[in-house]
Structure formats: C-alpha cells, structure tokens
Structure 1
C-alpha cells in the first residue's frame, strides 16, 4: 500500500482525537468511551492493530537505516488506563534494537539536584530510534501540582516559587519540545482518557483476580481521591503545550482495543509523513559492493571451504 493510501486509512482514527491548539480545549468535550460508532469485535480490532504494527515495523527499519529523524512517544494517564498494555501491543513488531522504553520512577538524589527537565533530556531518543516515555516530564506539572509538598525535595530557591510557577513550567516544557522538534525529534503525546467509573471497574477486577494483585497498590485508591485535581492539571497541561509540531492525542481509554488502534494509527501517520527512504549508497560504497560481489562470484561453485594456507588438506 502506498503512503497516501496508508495516510487516508489511518486519519479516520486520529483526526477526532488530535489536539494541536489549546485555545478551545476542554477535557469534558472528549468522551472516554468513544469508539467513533464502531461496533467491531475484538478479533477485528486485533487484525487492524496487527496491520498498523506491521506498517510501523516497516517504517521503523527505514528510520533506523536513515539515522536522521527520531521519534519520542509520551504516554500520560491515570492509573489503570492501560499504558503498559497499549505500549506492548502497539510496539509488538518493532525491533527492540531501535526502540527504548523509559519508565520514570521517583527521582533520585542526583536527579533532584538538577533542574526539573534534566533527567528527561538525558533520555531523549538518539537519531534513528523510537523512544517511549511511560510517564514523563509532564509529571512535574501533574502529580507535583496536585501534591505540592513534592516541591520541597527539589530545593528550588523560595524566590522562584511564585504564583506563576505552573504556567512557567508549562512554558518551559513547550519550549523544550519546540527545541527538540527543530532538532529532528518527532514528538507525539498521548493522554489515555479513562473515565472515573471505568477506573473503579478495573481496580475491582485487580482486587478480585489473584493474578492481578501485583498490579494493585493502595496508593492507586488514594490518588483516586484527587481525581478532579488531576483532571484540572491535565486540562491545563494540554491547553498550554498542544501545537502542530508536538500534538496531543486525547485517546478514549474505556475500550482497550480501540485505545490501541488509535495510538497505532497516530504513530503510523506521523512516521509515514516523514516520507522516509533507505539511504542511497555513495560511489565509494558502490565500489565496495561491486568488489564484494566479484569476490563471492569467484568462489568455488560447490560452496566448499577453501584450504587454509599451510594446512593439511587431509584434515
């Protein structure tokens, strides 16, 4: 399938959820249960996802060979929204050598001794690679905004902790992303939009299934108490940082197969737009290829191993 056909096929899944300007953005306008009216069976959704993963694997190989662009995928969501499963299924066919998944945990003492973007900038994917941030620098304007006592550990000078702190951090993030895009980093940001009711349902499933107990933490329920605060923080973050060069996708997360389909479509669309091609060999490389071909053609047609100098042909 040629690129134009691929782009036409995936836009139906990406356009309704893409946010490139925050001026008129309100989270309430995006339904966590939306499936665009599709009543597909799980098997049908899986087939579409596998097709998208296959396209992505093909493009990733060219991305790696070209060694010019890189792709950064940022995933943010409330607990139980399905980040890990989405990453696993969408990237299932991607070559691990060209893909890095980073899950940012509680910052270390060294990381707390630097500016809030320091540890994230060190993990930006190198050229030719896809980098996945499972949670990211947006935590600094989400969880830290909801739990402002976390700022104490960052030891910011009191004179810099003004009323505009969160607006300033969001502006810093927008400038950081602008800088990266101008260096050839393609940035896609996914907010997996889970409903309050669906989160409770998934928490209960984990509690009732012994095989899923390891996924559950009491802190998950404690964080649920701050749901409205988090929604306000997410809305503010998306409004301040959505742009054409680094768009947000507010992906419905109540239906897992549809979530994965939208994420896969967005990634395929972005990489296809790069119009990547395998690098063409230089004249010097062409000479080396010709010499190698001639040497192989000159070998014995029966494929036997040549005798080693000074060796005993009887052994």
Structure 2
C-alpha cells in the first residue's frame, strides 16, 4: 500500500498512440512511471486518454517526461492524488471473465465455466499484470490454442515477461509433457506465479510437465540459457523490448521453432516484424484484437505453414 498520483492527458487517438510509441522508444524511461492509453468511452472511439501512475507527487522532471512524449507540445496535464491503495490490484478488481481459445479466465469473484474442453484458470487481481482481460493476453491464449490445433509440437517452452504466469500455465496445459520455464524482470512476479500455480494446480519444478520460474531481464539468465533451445517462446511485453530482444529470441529457438509476440499496438507491428525478419524469423500467422497485434513467427528454416501460405487470422476481438 502506498500513496500514488496520476497524470491524465486527453487528446485524439492518433496523438495518444504517438505518445505511447515515443514511450516505447524512451529507453531511459523512469520505471516508476507506469503508462496506459485507452479510449474515453466505447461511443467515443476517437477520443483517448493517456494515464501515468506515479508512486510519489509528480516532480517537474516527471511532468517534463510526460510532456516530452508529445514532442514538447502536450495537451494540459491533469494531476490528481489517488487514495492510499494498491492501484494495480484496484485496477484489476471486478475484471469480467474472458473466453479465449480453449480457456476461460476469471478472478475468484466469478465462478468457473465448467464446460467440456475448456480449461479454467483463476487469476486474482495482484501486483503483476496478466489476468487475461487485456486484449494482448486474450489474443495470446487464442493463438496458442490455434497453434496446438494446427499440429505444433512443443517439448520445451519459455514465457518471457510472464507476469501472473497465465500464458505459461496455458501453454503447459496445451503441451502437458513439455519442459516449461517462466521469467519476469520483476521479482514480485515470482511469488505471484507461485501462488497462482498453487491455485490452479500447476506443478512447479524443473522436470517435464512442471514450470520453473526465474527472475531475469529478457533472455539474460543462465537457467534460460541452460534449459534452451526452445520449441516455443512467448513474450507478451512491449514493442521496444520485443524489437531489441528479437535476435536473442531467434538464437534460443530450435530450427523451425515458434515465437509468439504480443504487447504491441497494430501501429507498431511493422517495426517489430522488421526486427524479426532481420533475426531470421518469418510470420506464420497474426491476429488483431482491438488495437493490438498478436504475432506467431517461426525460424526461417520452416517459416511457412500449411503449404507455405501465411495464415492471417481475422479480427476476433468482438467475440471475446
């Protein structure tokens, strides 16, 4: 629990999206300032807001950093102090259940789906992101399901930037005999993943069918190196890190291995795909959920699927 402050900027959607892209390129960004962008209301899709949360009263340098995202011409900044609370948990309370692919994900406040062929996961609101409600997480669940149904074989997988552990749990459900490794740069996630694994009866450990958790920055950890190479790497993070990590992902994949990327806006997709092409990765399939792209790529050795035809997926966002 701590006192937090929020800075809000209201602007047309292209302006906010451009600011989010600028944030991705700001590699010296203060990690204490957490950003999000969203439409103000469903009936106002062109009116967006950028929200920045801080664990302190915004200093002149903080306000300057937000303003700089708008090329120095930011709309007025609305600054407010928030009640003393865990704002991440609060933001995830009462999250509605979602159905994506072979999965139903809900917080403890909602009942299980109890449907044949559907794996139910309980993911409480927590200090880590990835309850399944965000379009990128739901998109990854749908894409993992498609990969399994189209015959992808996975004996060794890694979920980089795992957050709550949900995507690693889902992948291990689809490929229950695989070695599975989850990692996150945030040490808080290690405890969150352990708790969620116990809640969802996901075994932890280093053997096949179990999930091993490490704290790591990208692929930089001896355990990640030792347990590779991987048939499948999942990374639902941000566009900037995806671009910089593309060659590292490629080096840790088996020939013809699969890479699932998310956390990028559709406007950022071309940059991410270009970085992946340079690393020898080729698009196998994609889907767009809302404003977000979810990409399935493969090593060049077997970059195509279904007779060499790329499988573009429709925009499924309205069905979730």
What is the TM-score of this pair, normalised by structure 2?
0.27
In the superposition, the TM-score normalised over structure 1's length comes to 0.27
Larger radius of gyration: 1
Larger strand proportion of the pair: 2
Of structures 1 and 2, the one with the larger relative CO (CA 8 A, separation 6+) is: 1
Report which of the two has the higher share of helix: 1
